[in-house]
Structure 1
Amino acid sequence: MRDPFFYGPSQALFEPLCDFLSLQSLSYHIHEILIVFCIYHIIFEYIAPLLSASLLSKSYNTLSYESKLRWNMHCVSMVSSVGICVLSLWTIFRDQERRHMDLGERIWGYTGAAGLVQALATGYFLFDLVVMVRYLKIFGLGMLAHASSCLLTYTLGFRPIFNYYGCVFMLYELSTPFLNIHWFFDKLGMTGTRAQLYNGLMLLGVFFCCRLIWGAYSSFNIYRDVWNALHFDAKTHDLSTNGEIMKFGGDRLLPTWLVMLYMGGHVTLQVLNVFWFGKMIAAVRKRFVKVEKKEE
């Protein structure tokens, strides 16, 4: 399936640089990355503060400088997570070329729709990394590691490699809207309410299913594909005769450094997911244990 958006004039402008960096499909999507980055920057710096101060003045205007930054970041995260999940699910169900990919195509293949998902994710993680670096003391090293790993993983995908899996791992973000709502409840004076309890239960359930269960299953699939490609490359070279999907396939090599970087990023994300799940359980319990004690 083709990218629903037109290829911008940046394709010819950035193609030599992208080819030099061995990111051959990046030139087709770099305009989308830059546009998304600018949109999220505008939301973070201008739209979120303005609308929040106007519509929720009693809550937003009393926040500290640090809490306002986090509030603005949660606004961007809400927009990004909803948009990327809808687009990922649409691509998974509608992109027939992607759905029928074989081993070689899952590793080296490319479709424009999957490339669009990859571009929007890269644009967000580029924005996320910039914010994490600017406000490192506020957001911490864990969030910086998350932004760095995600940006590295999705940028490397423009070789292209594992273009198939971009939509798959973006479904991690299905839990993010519930996390944002949970945080907003605290700042709106709704801590310990039934609404926060129900949202907290949804957050834990969706996070466990999409990040731990789905994440482990998807990681197993990509590790299996990498293992097969490395150990059965003769068989792999006989696959994937679809010229359009494999137009960036090249010599179909998997350099050791690339496998290490890509898999290292996934391992980092999986470890962070387990750590954050424990923190979420503790946070939800803390809020509602306090409420029960007050009622006693």
Structure 2
Amino acid sequence: MRDPFPQCPASVVKAITPICQAIGFTTLPSHAHEVFGAFLLYHVINVYVSPLVSPLLFPKTYRSFNKRNRINWDIHVVSLVQSTLICIVSFYAMFADRERSAMNAHQRVWGYTGFCGMVQALGAGYFLWDLMVSTQYLNIFGPGLLAHAVCALCVFSLGFRPFVNYYAPTFLLYELSSPFLNFHWFMDKLEMTGSRLQLLNGICLLVVFFFCRLIYGTYSSFRVGMDIYEAWKMPPDDIVAQGRNVPAWLALSYVTSNLILHFLNIYWFGKMIEALRKRFDSTTNTKQDGKKSEPIEDGVSVEGTDLKIPDTTSLFRESNVRQRK
């Protein structure tokens, strides 16, 4: 399936091709404009669009923020736009790209389609922006987010060799949980904490995070690992016939980065459950003692956000999830 965007300008392709060939990113010249375009789009939304539109839509709330909260709000806006856009594009690639659907195990490792290359570029552009923001605000979001950005950019950059380009839409569907995380954070800031809408959103958040990132994510990680292993142990005669093999460093780099991302998801989900359990235990003990409970804040890094649980009565209404992607 072809890339739906116009081709990268010939002058740009000519200028970057020697560098891309030297580092092995042979398909990057065809998608460099899309990587840069995605990076620029998210930067503009963060720096210009959100600070301009947000005070018009939510004047009381946005103008009351301190600098840290404004940074968080603008980044959540980017995350919401990016996660919605990339999930739509990824679903379309998985169901409409027939060339991708027909790939065998070897082609899933080394195969390439123009449309999946475009999806790869949009993902790489976002994680490049994510790396910049995580570095810029390291004191706010911490080293966990920076590690996430580095690993994600590594995984999606390797796709330009091309290498497991087939799996780009698959792993970008991790973002299905991100809109719920963002809406949960926005509702808290808009004084909707404890509302039925936030309760429903919280249930959707936990369910989608669990099934999308942990269940489907584990299955997808196993599949890509098996495909890479099969290509790595390919007999010498087949390597000559196919014209390439999987270097140990490449397999190790991809699998390690993928595993780090996967275990971060497991860690974040565990911390979410732990925070809810702490609040539940606190509420139970308070009722038994007959004392008024004190607000509990439990900071949990969930893709660059803090999960804080205010003093309310409902298990799901208690969670305040801050998420950036």
* TM, length-normalised to structure 1: 0.91
Structure 2 residue identity aligned to 1:61: R
Q: Deviations over 1:35-91 (max 9, x none)?
A: 111111010001111111111011111112111111111100011001100000001
CA distance in structure 2 between the partners assigned to 1:128 and 1:255 by the alignment: 28
Query: How large is the Cα RMSD of the aligned pairs?
Result: 1.8
**In structure 2, C-alpha distance between the alignment counterparts of 1:145 and 1:115, rounded to whole Å:** 24
2:87 matched to which residue of 1?
A: 85
The number of residue pairs the alignment matches comes to 283
The one-letter amino acid of 2:161's match is R
Gaps of 5+ in 1: 241-250
Pick from 67, 70, 84: which aligns with 1:68? 70
Q: In 2, Cα distance between the equivalents of 1:280 and 1:60?
A: 27
Rg comparison, structure with higher value: 2
Of the three residues 307, 313, 319, the one matched with 1:291 is 313
Q: How does 1:224-239 map to 2 (within 5 A)?
A: 224-234=226-236, 237=239
Q: Which has the higher helix share?
A: 1
Query: Are 1:252 and 2:254 matched, yes or no?
Result: no
Say if 2:90 and 2:119, in contact at 8 Å, map to a contact too: yes
SS in 2 for 1:253: coil
Instruction: Determine if contact 1:229/1:236 at 8 Å carries over to the other structure.
Output: no
**Is the Cα–Cα contact under 8 Å of residues 234 and 245 in structure 2 kept in the other structure?**
no
1:203-214 → structure 2 map (5 Å cutoff): 203-214=205-216
In the alignment, the residues of structure 2 paired with residue 255 and residue 177 of structure 1 have an alpha-carbon distance, to the nearest angstrom, of: 37
Distance (whole Å) between structure 2 residues aligned to residue 292 and residue 29 of structure 1: 48
2:138 alignment counterpart? 136
Distance change >3 Å, CA 120–CA 202, structure 1 → 2: same
Q: Name the aligned partner's letter for residue 269 of structure 1.
A: L
Quick check: 2:194–2:314 contact (8 Å CA) kept in 1?
A: no
**Following the alignment from structure 1 to structure 2, what is the Cα–Cα distance between the partners of residues 67 and 280?**
21
Written as runs of structure 1 = structure 2, the 5 A alignment for 1:132-211 is 132-211=134-213
1:169–1:281 distance in 2 versus 1, CA, 3 Å: same
Measured in 2, the distance between the counterparts of 1:281 and 1:7 equals 46
- Per-residue Cα deviation, 1:261-280 (whole angstroms, up to 9, x for no partner): 11111111011101111233
Report if the CA contact (8 A) 2:79-2:182 is conserved: yes
| Structure 1 counterpart of 2:8 | 8
Deviations 1:193-227 (A, max 9, x none): 11111101000000101100000000110111112
Q: Within 1, Cα distance between the matches of 2:32 and 2:275?
A: 39
Which residue of 244, 255, 260 maps to 1:268?
260
Alpha-carbon separation, structure 2, partners of 1:290 and 1:223: 44
Q: Which amino acid aligns with 2:256?
A: G
Match of 1:279 among 245, 255, 271: 271
Give, in whole Å, the separation in 2 of the partners of 1:136 and 1:160.
31
Query: Counterparts of 1:278 and 1:200 in 2: how far apart (Å)?
Result: 15
In structure 2, the partner of 1:246 is none
Instruction: Report the TM-score, using the length of structure 2 for normalisation.
Output: 0.83
Match of 1:116 among 115, 118, 121: 118
Deviations 1:106-147 (A, max 9, x none): 001100000000000000000000000001000111111111
Sort the Cα spacing of 1:93 and 1:233 in 2 relative to 1 into closer, same or farther, 3 A. Answer: farther
Question: In 2, Cα distance between the equivalents of 1:164 and 1:226?
Answer: 12
Runs of 4+ in 1 over 6 A off after TM superposition: none
Q: CA-to-partner distance for each residue in 1:226-280, whole Å, 9 max, x for gaps?
A: 121122345854987xxxxxxxxxx322111111111111111011101111233
